[in-house]
Chains A and B, each alone.
Chain A
Amino acid sequence: MKNIFVLVKQVPDTETKIIPKADGSYVEVTNIKWIMNPYDEFAVEQSLLIKTAFPECNVTVVRVGTVSDNECLRTAMAMGADDAILVESEGLIDSFTTAKAIKGAIEKSGRTPDLILSGKQAIDDDALQVPQLLAGLMNLPSVSVVVGFEVAGNVVKLKREVEGGSIEIYELNAPLVVACNKGLNTPRYASLPGIMKAKKKPLAQYKLSDVGVSASDTKVKYHGFQLPPEKPAGKKFDAMDDAKAGAIVKDVVGLLRNEAKVI
């Protein structure tokens, strides 16, 4: 285990009130407070736990995004990552472009990855695509929703959560891409001394064109951002009176079938 790359994304704080832009092209970003995507924190923490066990390991955090709000890379370095790469991009870009940019950035670093970690999803667009697309582009295996992690030499043993609460167990050889889920570990705080140290850690900066991405890579066009329609007020049925209960049940079934169309 020598080179770990961790993908991090800057996302709006979970308490942010999202307002679509007037022209629907995206959401208003000027007043957003940005945080590191919470699932990415598990990825960063995991890389640091591995680094503790394998001190020769180098942890690089990679992000595609704007220069002006780059705190999450600093935070990751303050937590203990060794260096960072930022691929500059403006506005919204799709998952494929992001994955291709990350692949280019990793190649440009000159280090061959043994492990690429990310969160299982970003809480802003919830696309759940980048780690898998990146693995596809780099021809690496990938496992997502990972809640258990062991490294023994070149072999990585993973626990993956599947629906219904069962666990799948994987044993793979590095290199590979792992997308982490909540429960994998408890992310540490970036300590104050860590924040000071992070200032001196290297941050490489590339343009999309430097990492081999061009306009023709764009697969998705975004438009028409709007808030979900407000939920109409619920209907109340008073079935306390046993004599009326039968009629009310009939009513409700009728409404569920014909109006809500759920049964």
Chain B
Amino acid sequence: MDFSLSSEQKEYQELALKFAKNEMIPNAAKFDESGEFPKEIFEKAWQAGLLNTCVPVEYGGAGFSNLDAVLIGECLAYGCMGMNSSMMANDLALLPIVIAGTAEQKKKFLTPFTEKFLLASFCLTEPENGSDAAGIKTSIVDKGDHYEVNGNKMWITNGGYADLYVVYGTKDASLKNKGISCVVVPKGTAGIEIGKKEDKLGHRASDTRAITFNKVKVPKENLLGKEGEGWQIAMKTLDHSRPLVAASAVGGAQRAMDLAVKYALERKQFGKSISEFQAVQFMLAEMGMRTEASRMLVYQAAWMADQKIRNTKVASIAKAMASDGLMQTATDAVQIYGGYGYSKEYPIEKIFRDAKLLQIYEGTSQIQRMVIARELLRSN
């Protein structure tokens, strides 16, 4: 057992953290308030090689391991969880291509992302199917020389800016997960209708929209894997992306904790620093316990993905622990700030709002528990 990171990994972390501190933290409140899309910041992140870390070397990417990606993602979320949602969504959308694409598809769809700054969307969720993703109703039907996509997608991150959409649909909803296929739909294809930007509680810098596919014609060569393999592709994607989401929860928690520690040392009541009160110390100690334990789980889940060891259970444990832990840590951090924590003048208020989403997307905390329980029961 060796817990040390390589010198390269430390350098990636350092670069990502520097980027978070210089570019993201100073701008986080502004984009949260306005809800504008911080495209310039993302473009700078792309220039520094911080985006699309999953693209293999053969296709112009850095070919980072899942562990590298979570180390970087954690630092970016430290800067702003909202911006990181958009950045992470690119990997979420490109991963199915990395996992199931042919060499030709990878060259066609992945390489452009290494040549210029582009965004992508992963389109699984629908208005009536969130947790029950296997029940999606969007249809992908064989029309002889092409596929036709029809249906509504909901909560699509980067939806208004995506250069390509990775879309899941079914040839027959009654087949449930066995009927699902996955296609790449390039931007500008006739019939893509982009909804208005959602006005959200948190992650306001990220762009989230409903996307409707109305008789969208997709070339046959844009099918990833085979017909009916979409569900497997989505599950494999989640094994890689859940550690990423969990890592962003760890980054957010680390930031909340750092802020709480700093504030506790500065604030005086009853003639002493509030950091001297045991009630405050215990809140800080528990932040440390949760954050450190979650981080280890995230590293383990990512490491397992890299070793090609089935990580479904650990990835779900990491995702649930890290995001529930983040919510508690953010709540307590606001508590330590007292009234000032409730004000937009201080950064913790936004982190508190951003934290909530981590318990919802990429499988809610309840769904993670279902996966964990299923895995536990299965092995007996």
Contacts and interface: CB of A to CB of B under 8 A. Distances in A.
Contact of B49 (A71, A194, A199): A194
Interface string A20-52: 000000000000000000000000000000000
Interface residues of A, number: 14
Nearest to B114: A193
Interface string A232-246: 000000000000000
Contacts of B50: 192
A72 to B, nearest CB: 11
A190 interface: yes
Given A189-B47, A191-B47, A191-B48, A196 B8 contact: yes
Nearest to A194: B49
A193 B62 contact: yes
Q: Which of B8, B11, B44, B53 has the most CB of A within 10 A?
A: B11
A78 interface: yes
Given A71-B11, A74-B11, A199-B8, A192 B62 contact: yes
A189 B48 contact: yes
A195 B11 contact: yes
* Chain B interface main SS type: helix
Contacts of B48: 188-192
B253 to A, nearest CB: 20
* Chain A interface main SS type: helix
B47 A78 contact: no
A78 B11 CA distance: 10
Contacts of B12: 192, 195
A47 B49 CA distance: 21
A195 B48 CA distance: 10
Contacts of B107: none
A194 B12 CA distance: 10
Which size bracket describes the interface of B in this complex? 10 to 19
B8 A195 contact: yes
A75 B7 CA distance: 12
Nearest to A33: B14
Interface in B283-310: none
Nearest to A78: B11
Q: Which of A71, A188, A196, A199 has the most CB of B within 10 A?
A: A196
Interface string B7-19: 0100110110011
Contacts of A199: 8
Contacts of B14: 71
Contacts of A74: 11
A190 B44 CA distance: 11
A45 to B, nearest CB: 14
A191 B11 contact: no
Contacts of B47: 188-189, 191
B18 A189 contact: yes
Contacts of A190: 11, 15, 48
B15 A196 contact: no
Interface string A171-211: 00000000000000000111111111001000000000000
B8 A193 contact: no
Contact of A192 (B15, B18, B44): B15
A234 B129 CA distance: 64
Interface in A111-170: none
Nearest to A74: B11
Interface string B38-67: 000000100111100100000000101000
Contacts of A75: 11
A193 B115 CA distance: 13
A243 B335 CA distance: 47
Contacts of A189: 15, 18-19, 44, 47-48
A210 to B, nearest CB: 25
Contact of B62 (A71, A78, A188, A196): A196
Contacts of A193: 49, 62
B187 to A, nearest CB: 26
Contacts of B8: 195-196, 199
A74 B53 CA distance: 21
Nearest to A35: B18
A100 B284 CA distance: 50
Contacts of B11: 71, 74-75, 78, 190, 195
A127 B141 CA distance: 72
A192 B64 CA distance: 10
Contacts of A188: 47-48
Contacts of A195: 8, 11-12, 15
Nearest to A189: B48
B116 to A, nearest CB: 14
Contacts of A71: 11, 14
Contacts of B18: 189
A191 B47 CA distance: 7
Given A192-B53, A196-B62, 7 more contacts: A189-B15, A191-B15, A191-B48, A192-B12, A192-B62, A192-B64, A195-B8
The 10 closest A-B pairs by CB, nearest first: A192-B49, A189-B48, A191-B49, A195-B11, A191-B48, A193-B49, A192-B62, A193-B62, A190-B15, A192-B12
Interface of A: 71, 74-75, 78, 188-196, 199
Interface of B: 8, 11-12, 14-15, 18-19, 44, 47-50, 53, 62, 64, 72
18 contacts: A71-B11, A74-B11, A188-B48, A189-B44, A190-B15, A190-B48, A191-B15, A191-B47, A191-B49, A192-B12, A192-B50, A192-B64, A195-B8, A195-B11, A195-B12, A195-B15, A196-B62, A199-B8
